Structure 1
């Protein structure tokens, strides 16, 4: 009964998010969120503080579980197809009604081959994001860079949660909210997901601290790819953006052998 209640609650949250982004009425059918016992969704109890885009991060982690338990090809086109199939199965909605595969593939490629800072500056220079959004995203990038240099993933997680609280208390306009709140949701869930992978790998590490420091830095690096994809996808992909972000981090994790 508790599991059913969790599934129902997460489904309602996602449908609310979808409605907010697409100006549609809230659907009543229940959507089954794919979860496993290894998922950060299951093992960490988040302090939900009112982010209306919480479910973007939840579905992000859910797709990562689904991908790594599937026949997980590292071809971007295959990952994109799996992402669309997953989204359709879970939400009874076809993202191809408003996006195309080349857009997904381009976003994943861009997020892997460019830095978060480059993305932020590009979007701001193009007038796509405001200076307010740019400043908040730069805050996240600064703590990401510091964490990747030090390997302190727990500090990154704590700082992300602090920034989320700051955003929710700020007087943001709707345009800023639609970019920043999904981004911080993915940053929170992604960092916890890859931290759990890091903990699992560290437990079996034969070389102790040396291996563990490298793996911590890799976990933060992958979370940065997540963040980069989410920033760009938030502009055009609506509620599917979190799945695009997880597609990018899945590809990068496979590339560096991290999972």
Structure 2
């Protein structure tokens, strides 16, 4: 695991993990938005790899992917955005998030090129532990973290398989279903986070269903990280002329709420 990523979870508060899609609304503006996330106080950034069939994503992130693809964004372009970000922000962890098909279509040098671009790890939503030997091994061989997901349906029998080979942090999906459609239930999340942390030393970040500063603060009191994505992608779609300012202002409020909750 990269030192950047581990350091993000060693603070005296929960880490703020934010998601945006590469190329939404354009490659140039994605760079500005990434800078705005850092300026607003994001501790870890997930950079979405746009894909035509994002099965775990709700309408907001699906729309962001379609905007990016319509603008010509590719996985190669996503890595170029990552490389430029790393040049500007040498200490901020950057995780690629998306689906297996684009990584496979890219070819056998994907892990090498991702590492060379300054990426710290990947979240591949549709790559089960049983199928990750080839790509997962390549990622780990390049020093990249493979962040796994657990859900409300991940029971005690399944959890060890999810944790095997995982690194960086564990992403707990707080609601069954797709992103951005329902709010997380704090009591249920607290029980699940406690159960997971009894089985691993990995930090546990909670996402799906977190939109407001108040919700972020509630989750920050029980988890090691708070993940916000759909609300940010909505802001980008609603503020096409100047998405960076809207994102910076919103993320600042989230960061302040998490700081207060510590």
**TM-score normalised to the size of structure 2?**
0.32
Higher strand share: 2
What's the TM-score once normalised by structure 1's chain length?
0.32
